[in-house]
Structure 1
Amino acid sequence: MEELSLIYSVCSMFPEFSMVNILKVTPGACLQHVIIEGAVKPEGEREKESQGQEQETTSSHQKGIVIIHDYFHLRMIKDSEKAVPFLLEGLDNTEIRVLSPLPAAGLDKEVTYEKFHQVSHSLGDLVGQYFTGEKPKGQLEIEGILKVGTNITGVGELKLDTDGTLSLRPPSNGSQYFLTPVDFDVIISALAGAAINFWARLRYYRHLEAHREQERKEFNRLLAEAARQQNNVPGQDNLQGVAMCVICLNQPCICVLLDCGHVCCCHTCYQALPQQYCPICRQRIVRVLPLYQV
């Protein structure tokens, strides 16, 4: 970010230091992270009736998963996209060619054409689909355009080509490529919010894991204490009269779920519960204790 701010400040305070001049003295004539703001402009001649430049045609083939005659979900088996490069023109009339716009994040285009082409099936196809459980639904075709004059903020790699043309492309180091109608401050705010959200979720996850580890150690301590007490009783079988876990069906129920008091699962299945609710009555589990056999 310091590199981006420095380039922006130099170009603002000293107009003679244009992007071309900066790239000429940069090794490789390339900057991996730059901020470009400008208006969309067509590359070359365009028809007078056309109001958009960056055209995207998306063609996807959909296939449905079938159980007998009931569809329960769709999956895409092929997705092909193509786009037309365009230019970004700044306030100083500097033109930058935008390459590979489709991988960029934040680029919303106006849908101008959408049609679903449903396929027809012969009798042999229907018989094969009955046994395979998959039935092709058809082809969905969508076209979208980016209107000329739309203000776009691009964050990516800027390179000076051998013919003197400036081009903006996805960063070669794998960083995120942005093309969005919002300004750079909004992008930074969104990324900061995502980082804070990730940090909060990570802290919660670590806290939850620490709590589960502490609970597991306490349970094992109580279980070992109960086993020592039972071993003092001669001829007593520790598993006598203990029901099997209702989840895995192969381990004895050694957990008492509180506050409901149900004894219905082993400790391994209790830890694997996606939510802390009793499998029998669905009451929230406050704590768990080992089962004592006396």
Structure 2
Amino acid sequence: MDALPLTPGELVCLGSSLAFSGLFYYLHRKKAKVVAKIQEAPKLQVSESLPDILSATGSSCLQYVAIEGVVQPTEAALTSPYHNELQGVIERLVLKEHRLIWNSLARSWTDSERVVLEQVHTVPFVLASPAGRSVGQVSVESPLQAVELPLETVYERFQQTSHGFKDLLGHYLSGEKPKGFLETEEMLLVGSSLTGIGELTMQPDGSLRLQPPADGTGYFLHLGDWQALLADMQSVSNFWKWAALLCGFVGTAVILRALFRAYWDYRLRKEQEAQQQEFEKLRCQRSSDLDLSDEPPESACVICLTNLRECVLLPCGHVCCCFRCFQALPSRTCPICRSPIDRVVPLYQA
């Protein structure tokens, strides 16, 4: 039975590369579809003409649009507990514990963090026209369902933990060393320029609402214009594309290596068969002229002492064995001088 063309290691590498390549290509296509949909979406700005635009489409709903405006609260805004002059409509407070963990394999301390507390507060807000709130506004619904919250870090403080001698001794025994706590505050500030990409609907009372698309398409809230969001999405899509190509290249390289090895094995097998046929032909020519007695001839093979010496071992040049014994050698070394054998040629005698 022929051996498998791929070694177990190559099979694992090939399977892993193909699996990762398929996964990365799926992620690339998923991001590429989002990019294409954002490019095709109508680009609007908050203005008093938005109701007329919806009416002109013959529907009270645009399934996917990109709309730009300025963030304004519809009621009392959130005030930062650390900066009284900062007001926002979304606030996230995060408390993280940082530790050093002893890695016995690397023989070093590695950083580790754990979220101890996270709080998110929101108030209803709208996207208003830069010209003023009276010109037009669009209510933003379910902002926490956006793919990524458009928050800015407005406060950050690291409180280092103090340790005594007993604490340090306990840390080395347990393999964990607390570093301290990182406290951060992120907010979507009032007056920020925001781009919302989602479903735009007109309510019976004439108000406009931006909400997550009903078909499950990505709902985006992004600080800045839609071109910046599109560039970020294209960058992510290209990353997954190159990752898929790299994994596919690795799988192709494994297959080519296996094919190259199979080709050389095939050539070596054909050369051995041709060489064996040549030696058999030479043996048949000599058998009619040779009459072996009970005593081995002087030119007999030094291994089997039966057949004639018919191999020239190169590069050492020793003539000491027949072809069958050469094939049975446990290692490709000369039986006389133990030097490596590169190739063997038939011995022709006049």
**Which bracket does the TM-score occupy, shorter chain normalised?**
0.5 to 0.7
1:44 aligns to 2:87 (yes or no): no
Q: TM-score, normalised by structure 2?
A: 0.50
1:149 is paired with a residue whose SS is: coil
- Which residue type is aligned with residue 39 of structure 1? V
Determine which structure has more spread, i.e. the larger CA radius of gyration: 2
**Partner of residue 331 from structure 2, selected from 228, 232, 240:** 240
**Partner of residue 223 from structure 1, selected from 251, 265, 284:** 265
- Please name the residue that 2:13 is paired with: none
Shift of 1:39: 0.8
Q: TM-score, normalised by structure 1?
A: 0.58
- Please name the residue that 1:56 is paired with: 92
- Which residue type is aligned with residue 157 of structure 2? E
User: Do the aligned residues in 1 keep the contact of 2:161 with 2:180 (CA within 8 Å)?
Assistant: yes
Shift of 1:154: 1.7
- Please name the residue that 2:237 is paired with: 195
- Please name the residue that 2:65 is paired with: 34
Q: Deviations over 1:84-124 (max 9, x none)?
A: 34523232431413534486437351422323352657948
1:113 is paired with a residue whose SS is: strand
**Partner of residue 181 from structure 1, selected from 208, 223, 228:** 223
Unaligned runs of 5+ in 2: 1-35, 130-134, 277-322, 334-340, 345-350
Shift of 1:212: 3.5
1:88 aligns to 2:135 (yes or no): no
Once the two structures are aligned, what percentage of the paired residues are identical? 18
Shift of 1:213: 1.5
**Partner of residue 78 from structure 1, selected from 95, 110, 115:** 115
Cα distance in 2, alignment partners of residues 85 and 191 from structure 1 = 28
Number of matched residues? 240
CA RMSD, Structure 1 to Structure 2 (Å): 4.8
User: Do the aligned residues in 2 keep the contact of 1:11 with 1:19 (CA within 8 Å)?
Assistant: no
Shift of 1:215: 2.7
- Which residue type is aligned with residue 72 of structure 1? W
Cα distance in 2, alignment partners of residues 32 and 119 from structure 1 = 55
Unaligned runs of 5+ in 1: 243-290
Relative to 1, partners in 2 of residues 1:225 and 1:195: Cα closer, same or farther, differing over 3 Å?
Answer: same
Q: Deviations over 1:197-255 (max 9, x none)?
A: 5445544543453344223211122134436656855344687379xxxxxxxxxxxxx
- Which residue type is aligned with residue 50 of structure 1? E
Task: Tell which has more relative contact order, 1 or 2 (C-alpha 8 A, sep 6+).
Answer: 2
Cα distance in 1, alignment partners of residues 164 and 246 from structure 2 = 52
